[in-house]
Amino acid sequence: MPKNAPPQEEAPAPQNAGFSALGLDPKIVAALTTLGYEEPTPIQQETIPTLIAGKDLLGQAATGTGKTAAFALPILQRIVNEGRGGESPTAVVLVPTRELAMQVAEAVHRYGKALGIRVLPIYGGQPIGRQLYAIRAGVDVVVATPGRALDHIRRGSLQMGGVRIVVLDEADEMLDMGFAEDIEAVLKESPATRQTVLFSATMPPRIEAIAKRNQRDPVRIRIAKPVAKAGEAPKVRQQAYLLPRSSKMGALGRILDLESPAAAIIFCRTRTEVDELTETLSARGYKAEALHGGMTQDIRDKVMRRVRAGDSELLVATDVAARGLDIDRLTHVINYDLPAAPEAYVHRIGRVGRAGREGVAITLVEPREHHALRNIERLTKHTIQIAKVPTVADLRTKRLEVTLASLREALVADDNEHYRVVVDSLSDAYDPIQIAMAAVKLYHQAAIGDEEEQEEIAEASRPEAPPDRQSQSTPRASPGFSRFSKAAGADGGTTPPRKRGGPDLDMARIFIGAGREAGIRPQDLVGAIANEAKVAGNLIGAIQITDRFSIVEVPEQVAQQVIKALGNTTLRGKKVPVRRDKAN
């Protein structure tokens, strides 16, 4: 292909006159209205007319700016104008992950439903036979990961001869994941006359090189992140905690307790770290789910359904697995590990603070990584506040604030009158202030936790011994990880937390006839006991998982209840034997 001429100057943004002014078919505009789209975003205003005109485009835009619609709507308009492409799809969209492939395909389907548009996501981990059948039946838009697209091209199932548009979405992420050669191969198989569209959150030299080799005189569009007005707080509060690696686990517990996120993504570098952190959080009473590339697509889909439905509050993930995820409930992004590149930090925190909502980005930084934090600040042109790890006093203050908020709600309620008899009976002997303080104390201890438990929080910040890799033994729940703001009971409602499993309780060992070979994880056992046996997760003690069986410690008084409940349910889809451990 011919090399680029000098890039065109950026044109001033057109006035926002609605989607009907961008050259879109009335049926497409009607679909957008039905979906609740009122006005195009800045990137849509600048991109849609350019792409409808058939020009190549090189766009730089952060996550959450509306770029999916920016390239999807012109693709639909081209199909309206020129008709379908016969054996070849009209457009091929390359994306870095299966999650993003599904997300983009769903968006194209919704926008083009009235036009009868046929869209197909293809990615690894999905039965290829189903993909082959769908392609043979005819498809207008293919949304694919680069490796699977190339696989179909080599099989001859994906005909590229009639492709008119190729879109590279999240191009920098695809290069980071090692897809450079696959992308070049797909582009080489497509017609030289095609329209090539490239979007990237960052614009490093290698992206410029791909554009130079594969685009013709592209229009350049750069949509900067909106700048906060003077005196206006940024939508994403960014904080960092400097601490040694051995203290990360304890610090994370305190931060989670203080922040009380509705939903959070916690990023780790490796699959192993994701699994280990998820196991520890689950064993300590959190509703945590793991997500990484080593999981089957079916399991990943189930995880995301639970997270989106609110059944889980923490998603522990690698960058690759979380790419393209969009969770409406998300309030926090936590970098348990710093990303390998500053650009990845931008991708991570871009998942919160969308659509005018406020979000929080928290990063745990080891002293040796301090320079990496400075690199991130230079890239983002934003100073990241260095904060102190919450102390026991901070957590106690937070707990009292929660109690205060609950009491205020109770005071404005109209159902308190039948408690007056208690107050009246005590008023003759005690001062009303003393009565009130005693009542607050009882409520606070029941709903939040007592002073003894608060003091034990300090133990959570001590370095922990590494888990036994052979037995996957998980440490008992630490009081440093207590969901005090909404102590979730087994039924998902709000119930007073009880004393956690420990030396002060008689513990029974339960034998479960399934282990690692059956895919059993600590979080599976904690979830099953909490949901089926109605036993709070903070009562569960040590969990040991071997290849063929598992041992779980529970308080003696609920042991038979747990055995009966687990015996009547399934673990990983199978009935398994459950009984007291013979060593008991």
Q: 6 pLDDT exceeds 60?
A: no
* Domain shared by 371 and 285, yes or no: yes
350 contacts 201 by C-beta, under 8 angstroms: yes
Q: Could you tell me if residue 151 is inside a domain?
A: yes
- Final residue belonging to a domain, choices 349, 368, 390: 390
* Domain shared by 264 and 371, yes or no: yes
Instruction: Categorize the per-residue pLDDT at 54 as very low, low, confident or very high, splitting at 50, 70 and 90.
Output: very high
Quote the pLDDT of residue 18: 78
* Domain shared by 189 and 62, yes or no: yes
Full domain range(s) for residue 96: 19-223
Instruction: Give the chain's mean pLDDT.
Output: 78
Element (H, E) at 345: helix 342-349
Q: How many CA atoms lie within 13 A of 341 on its CB side?
A: 12
Instruction: Categorize the per-residue pLDDT at 583 as very low, low, confident or very high, splitting at 50, 70 and 90.
Output: low
Which pairs with CB-CB distance under 8 Å and at least 24 residues apart come from 225-233?
A: 225/62, 233/358
Q: 4 pLDDT exceeds 60?
A: no
* Domain shared by 145 and 86, yes or no: yes
Element (H, E) at 321: helix 319-322
* Domain shared by 360 and 450, yes or no: no
Helix axes 180-189, 205-214, angle to 10 degrees: 10
Q: Which residues of 64-77 are buried (b: 16+ CB within 10 A; e: fewer)?
A: ebbbbbbbbbbbbb
345 contacts 335 by C-beta, under 8 angstroms: yes
- 534: domain CATH number? 3.30.70.330
- 31: domain CATH number? 3.40.50.300
Q: 40 pLDDT exceeds 90?
A: no
pTM, to two decimals? 0.49
* Domain shared by 160 and 146, yes or no: yes
- Final residue belonging to a domain, choices 424, 442, 457: 457
Look at residues 286, 238, 256 and name the one whose alpha carbon lies nearest to residue 394: 256
